[in-house]
Amino acid sequence: MAYVILGTCINDAACVDVCPVACIHPAPAEAGFATADMLYIDPQICIDCNACAEACPINAIVREQDLTPKLLRYKTLNAEMALARSKVA
Ligand code: SF4
Ligand code: SF4
């Protein structure tokens, strides 16, 4: 299980600094941050600690198991963006 970032993300990166495993991308120092529509969480690395959800000012981070059917697409989107990043890294 992992946490998932929703499309309401405003890219303030408040979650990035609190993640103990650095699985939220793109971080401000990484390529693509300035132009990203939203950040995403790599589900392969996330350890379900909840720190990011507590840090997010607009509640844009949700536990995977709490996603409503309407929001499930963000689970796929986060995973796809993480996979795309791993292929160019
Ligand atoms: S739940 Fe924890 S490990 Fe997962 S993305 Fe958030 S801060 Fe990082
Ligand atoms: S803290 Fe919330 S709004 Fe800010 S970048 Fe992270 S997910 Fe997006």
User: Could you report the per-residue pLDDT of 27-86, keeping only the tens digit for each?
Assistant: 999 999 999 999 999 999 999 999 999 999 999 999 999 999 999 999 999 999 999 988
E-state strands within 22-87: 24-25, 40-41, 61-63
Is residue 88 over pLDDT 90?
no
Which of 40, 49, 62 to mutate for ligand 1's pocket (most ligand atoms within 8 Å of CB)? Answer: 49
What ranges do the domains of the chain cover? 3-88
Ligand nearest to the CA of 26: 2
Q: Which CATH number fits domain 3-88: 3.90.1150.10, 3.30.70.20, 3.30.930.10, 3.40.605.10?
A: 3.30.70.20
pLDDT at 89: 64
Among protein residues, the one with the nearest Cα to ligand 2's atom 2 is: 56
Residue type, 54: E
Kindly report, residue by residue over 9-31, the tens digit of the pLDDT: 999 999 999 999 999 999 999 99
For ligand 2, say whether the CB of 58 is within 6 Å of any of its atoms: yes
E-state strands within the chain: 3-5, 24-25, 40-41, 61-63
pLDDT at 30: 96
Q: 30: which 2 tokens?
A: 């990484």
Ligand nearest to the CA of 55: 2
